[in-house]
Amino acid sequence: MSILEVTKLKKKYPSFELGEISFSLEEGKITGFIGRNGAGKSTTLKALFNYVHPDSGEIAFLGKRFLEHELEIKQDVGLVFGGINYYSKKKIKTITSINKLFFKDWDDNAYREYMKLFCLDENKTPSELSEGMKVKFALVLALSHNAKLLILDEPTSGLDPVSRDELLDVFNNLCEKGITILFSTHITSDLEKCADNIIYIKNGKILENGNMKEFVTSYKILNLKEEQITEEIKPYLIGCKRAKEGYTALIKEEYTKNINIPAMEADLEAIMIHMEKEEM
Amino acid sequence: MRNMLRKEFKLAMHPIAIIFLSFSAMLLIPNYPYYVAFFYLGLAVFFTCLNGRENYDILYSISLPVRKKDIVKARFLFVIILQLSQIALAIPFAILRQNLPVPCNQVGMEANIAFFGLSFVLFGIFNLVFFRIYYKDVNKVGKAFLISSIVVFLYIMVVESCTHILFFAKNYLDTKDTYYLKEKLIVLVVGMLIYSITTLIAYRKSVKDFEALDL
């Protein structure tokens, strides 16, 4: 049984459509939810918790449908929105004193340990914390009620590289403890550091959903001169775009043998850039 | 629900709400449209909802193990507690005002039992108008407050005008409590009924609107 199963989730807005989103999360793994700004990442995550009402589709956490088991599910899931600081002028200890009332598995010892681990001071207010510390505080609240699944919407956006790296280390540690993490981002390097699986969304549709390493190794990058872009190789090229010298394009690994041009390893950023370029 | 109410008072409430509660003492002003003292509580509700918007109160609340309708119920209970507290706090000042050795209120209604009945109607109107707009789009707090304020002020103008124009209002209701007690008690009971009904309607409609709202 997967910890989260999303089936044919659809939501239509006047200017945007989230089309049949289906994915599931492997327990104890980190899954990166990637896509450019406006691709539908936040809408999908909000739809999981009925913040936005899907037009159709099924959402089940640990085999339980969300709408029928909302309260039980919320006890087991931690939802963290990056860049949002609740009650910015209230002391952290005041926010915590209220937050803990709602969770039957709240663990004061765990709370104190995580606060210490993340060097958070209870007497500060969220407005006095850096962006990274705010995310860490949100994580502390989620972890102190023993959340089995953490869903994080752009937790690393707006953080400096060092804070991002620290946070990704935290994710890896949590993953080792068996906690499942789904986090959305448009920063590809974050995923390369910690994600086991990847869900790639573009214009409201899922392009890829699977193992991160397999996904990255399934593509190669070509550096091309203009005269090399012949009608013969064009069908194999994905997102051919201008580079400083010549052109670059993505190609599926299995097609590299069909062309006589050396292909290089692709990283996630290059894959994403070329995929976004395609069909524009 | 007790936990949600604690959240309302400890995290969501704007501190100015407490100050506005003390405005019940405005009933001691010798000549004044006393309903205005109760209007300020609407401002406290507005500040709390505005403060909530700036502090992501709804996004926080919905991340807790509560249902959307619990969020609406907690906010209504919070406002009802404030409104009843303001009435309760105003009673001693009203009694004091009636016993002060100064002439009756020349501007509008006396601070008497009927006044409290009509103030309940004021709160009921505010709840109905404000929350119907607010829960259709929780980001449009200003619109909800502006429209509800206009409606409440129109109501104040009408009831205060009646105190000067209508024979029954002028000669029966706008008097000290020692006179026409039965008539005033009827106004109080009817006012409380109107408050209960309008607030209940506002709550039910708000739950429906908020459930349908995409956040």
Q: What is the pLDDT of residues A224-237, one digit of tens each?
A: 888 888 888 888 88
Distance CA B147, CA A195 (A): 50
In this prediction, residue B82 carries a pLDDT of 96
- Smallest CA–CA distance, residue B80 to chain A, in Å, is 21
**Residues in chain B, total:** 215
Q: How confident is the model at residue A279 (pLDDT cuts 50, 70, 90)?
A: low
Q: What is chain B's pLDDT, residue by residue, as a tens digit (215 residues)?
A: 899 999 999 999 999 999 999 999 998 888 899 999 999 999 999 999 999 999 999 989 998 999 999 999 999 999 999 999 999 999 999 999 988 888 888 888 889 999 999 999 999 999 999 999 999 999 999 999 999 999 999 999 999 999 888 888 888 888 887 888 899 999 999 999 999 999 999 999 999 999 999 88
In this prediction, residue B38 carries a pLDDT of 93
pLDDT 10s digits, A69-111: 999 999 999 888 766 678 999 999 999 999 999 999 899 998 9
User: Between A and B, how many CB-CB pairs are < 8 A?
Assistant: 61
Residues A174-196 have a mean pLDDT of: 88
CB contact under 8 A, A49 and B57: no
Handedness of CA A197, A35, B64, B210 (dihedral sign): negative
- For residue A47, give both structure tokens: 């739809």
- Smallest CA–CA distance, residue A45 to chain B, in Å, is 12
β partners of residue A149: A77, A180
CATH number assigned to the domain covering A4-215? 3.40.50.300
Query: Percentage of chain A with pLDDT > 70?
Result: 98
In this prediction, residue A275 carries a pLDDT of 87
Helix/strand number for chain B, H first, E second: 9, 0
In this prediction, residue B192 carries a pLDDT of 97
pLDDT 10s digits, A236-277: 888 888 888 888 988 888 888 888 888 888 888 889 888 888
A90 CB neighbours in chain B (<8 A) are 11
- In this complex, the residue of A81, A97, A102 whose CB is nearest that of residue B64 is A102
Q: What is the dihedral of CA B161, B162, B167, B168, to 10 degrees?
A: -150
Give the range among A121-125, A207-211, B167-171 with minimum mean pLDDT. Answer: B167-171
User: CA nearest A180: which of A30, A50, A20, A23?
Assistant: A30
Is 90 exceeded by the pLDDT of residue A136?
A: no
Quick check: helix, strand or coil at residue B152?
Answer: helix
Q: How confident is the model at residue A280 (pLDDT cuts 50, 70, 90)?
A: low
- Smallest CA–CA distance, residue A89 to chain B, in Å, is 9
In this prediction, residue B43 carries a pLDDT of 94
β-strands A247-252, A219-224 pairing: antiparallel
Interface subset of A 88-127, CB within 8 angstroms of B:
88-90, 94-95, 97-99, 101-103
In this prediction, residue A276 carries a pLDDT of 85
Range of the domain at B164: 2-212
In this prediction, residue A84 carries a pLDDT of 65
SS3 content of chain B, % helix, strand, coil (to 5): 80, 0, 20
In this prediction, residue A254 carries a pLDDT of 86
Domain count for chain B? 1
Residue at token pair 């995580």? A114
Give yes or no for a contact between A158 and A131, defined as CB atoms under 8 angstroms apart.
Answer: yes
Residues A121-131 have a mean pLDDT of: 90
Is A86 an interface residue toward B (CB < 8 Å)?
A: yes
CB contact under 8 A, A84 and B62: no
CB contact under 8 A, B10 and A52: no
In this prediction, residue A83 carries a pLDDT of 61
A52 CB neighbours in chain B (<8 A) are 214-215
Domain spans, chain A: 4-215, 218-277
Handedness of CA B85, B88, B90, B93 (dihedral sign): negative
In this prediction, residue B151 carries a pLDDT of 97
pLDDT 10s digits, A16-71: 888 889 999 988 899 999 988 888 888 898 888 888 888 999 999 988 999 899 99
